[in-house]
Structure 1
């Protein structure tokens, strides 16, 4: 039997898990090596097999114990249903153990970092899109900045990636940082991201901010103001340049922060209109 529980929002503490789970009912507990602290060890029953392991070893450990019919408690940071290792663990077990049924896994949710920071800032969840840059090289631009707020799970390299991707529209954005959430050093505040990336080294970011999340508020509206193509077809006379630009931009299916190459840009009016509506980046080419 496998139970996956979230630790909630704290700095690698098992206290919340201990409050809602009877650890004595399990044969073993496994969790990330960052949870290996004297405080956590004091919370656990002496007769419980406890393992603090790197993620790659956790998968193998759970597989072995599952095949031995052991009752396993796996603790993840935050919530097990929000960008946690849960999905990858279940996929791994399904591939490795033919009889494994993920529907029989007991998942105990907890507050996620997104839930926590939205509660602190009084922001409705309906206005937020959540993405993860943790361990990733690129943003999903089909979702980035598509709602008023974009929540980002981050690692120590994420600040520079976000700074690079928003350098042309930084004045149209408000950045909030949630650093060391749930700890005595918690910090939730507006944040000058571009200034920080210029002034802080990677090591300074690790020491001062990690672990952290970002919330980006979009100050502009990307709702399309185009008419349907049929409206243009019924207009009397020839299409105006403004109409043609609108049809062209509409057909491109642009998203915020995408890079558009404007070949034969002329006065740049297409790029200007595209930026006004979608906040894209443009490279303009025109022969002298």
Structure 2
């Protein structure tokens, strides 16, 4: 047995009675029992030393490291400790080889069981310690969501967001103390939500249903231009969709959006893939506020915003998996700086509408290769009593992939 092993035991509202014999044996044999006050109260006194989590939790990690070398350390955590639980922090700190998790039924498992929902068809997220705006990306017609609330105010905040988006008919169910003797479910709709007092620890279920005025915003790149607040510095919808296709968003990948304008490319990068991150670099102060407002409204409040000019402000940023240059391509130092910082296998995409910008992209293509594409979009618009095609400014797009070696 690994003498430095940290055992993590999932426990539910049913407490000691809900633990398996193997889990009980672990708890009974612990030299140090760690958990929140609520978790520690759920198990009988076994004679083990008890440690309630400090704030922040990381302050206890040194103790866990030392005591796991001296004896048996057991951590109690809610349900499945790897589903938005403390086990994730422990694995990141100590490595998977030192953390053994014995899960119980998670709050999401129990919620699906009560509602008759298939977990395979449900999107899950936590708003614990996170902005409620995160739910914006998940609001789609017919979507079923399970949300870990930050407190009793979370369901009301979500109901307000749904109603503002035109999803007032969406069905909500707040589930408290699932699996225990105090279990309770409170149901209603977003537009008429008034549940009274709720428990701080709750799971919110949402079945999204659009109303007649619903604003439906797909996670597929190419949101309508009017989804953004902007001053005209906006990568137009059709060009934006082609740009994101060239950038190829992927899970956990990081984007630099250089010359971000209103932030549309970085925002849609983050909406397109789970865990994708982005930093928007924008020199004009008045646009920085627009970027922040757009990120919040479109469900990616974690978008990092850097106010300043490239390439000076690029130093010290996390290395990108992809870079989009939407402004300043005619400058002789931005493309080289972005290319140098790009990870091997990363994608550099740059758009230009001016002759100077196009010349810079053609020169870059001549030296480094890649793909050059001319994007010409026309939209039908009223011309007197009729409609005709009105062309947008042509866009020259460069895509280059950095070699692996």
TM-score, normalization by structure 1: 0.63
Which one of 165, 183, 187 corresponds to residue 186 of structure 1?
Answer: 183
CA contact (8 A) 1:27 1:49 kept: yes
CA distance in structure 2 between the partners assigned to 1:107 and 1:28 by the alignment: 16
Q: Give the one of 9, 12, 16 matched to 2:18.
A: 16
Unaligned runs of 5+ in 1: 95-99, 227-245, 260-265, 268-288
CA contact (8 A) 1:62 1:72 kept: no
Shift of 1:57: 6.2
Task: Supply the distance in 2 between the matched residues of 1:182 and 1:75 (Cα, whole angstroms).
Answer: 17
The alpha-carbon deviation at position 62 of structure 1 amounts to: 4.3
> Which residue in the other structure is 1:64 paired with?
63
Question: 1:86-235 alignment to 2 at 5 Å?
Answer: 86-91=87-92, 94=93, 100-141=94-135, 143-146=137-140, 148-154=143-149, 155-168=151-164, 169-197=166-194, 200=196, 205=197, 208-220=198-210
Give yes or no for contact 1:31–1:58 (8 Å, CA) kept in 2: no
2: CA distance, partners of 1:77 / 1:2: 16
Matching residue of 2:320: none
Please give the per-residue CA displacement for 1:224-273, whole angstroms capped at 9, x wherever unaligned. 8x9xxxxxxxxxxxxxxxxxxx9699788698x749xxxxxx99xxxxxx
**Residue 111 of structure 1: how far off its partner (Å):** 0.7
Q: Are 2:174 and 2:186, in contact at CA under 8 Å, matched by a contact in 1?
A: yes
SS in 1 for 2:139: coil
Mapping 1:42-57, distance limit 5 Å: 43-46=44-47, 48-51=48-51, 53-56=52-55
Q: 1:178 & 1:219 partners in 2: Cα distance? A: 20
Question: What is the CA–CA distance in structure 2 between the aligned matches of 1:139 and 1:59, rounded to whole Å?
Answer: 27
Cα shift at 1:74: 0.2
Classify the secondary structure of the residue corresponding to 1:176.
strand
Give 3-state SS (helix, strand or coil) of 2:125's partner. Answer: strand
The structure showing larger relative contact order (alpha-carbon pairs under 8 Å, at least 6 residues apart) is 1
Paired residue for 1:82? 83
CA distance in 2 between counterparts of 1:159 and 1:78 reads 21
Tell me the matched-pair count: 221
Deviation at 1:216, TM superposition (A): 0.7
TM-score for the superposition, normalised by structure 2 = 0.46
Q: Tell whether the 8 Å contact from 2:148 to 2:204 is kept in structure 1 after alignment.
A: yes
Q: Name the structure where helix makes up a greater proportion of residues.
A: 1
| Counterpart in the other structure of 2:11 | 7
Higher alpha-carbon Rg = 2
**Structure 2 runs not aligned, ≥5 long:** 221-236, 243-263, 272-296, 300-380, 383-405
Query: Partner of 1:110: helix, strand, or coil?
Result: coil
Q: 1:186 to 1:59 in 2, by over 3 A?
A: same
Equivalent position SS for 1:140? helix
Q: Is the 8 A contact 2:31 2:73 kept in 1?
A: yes
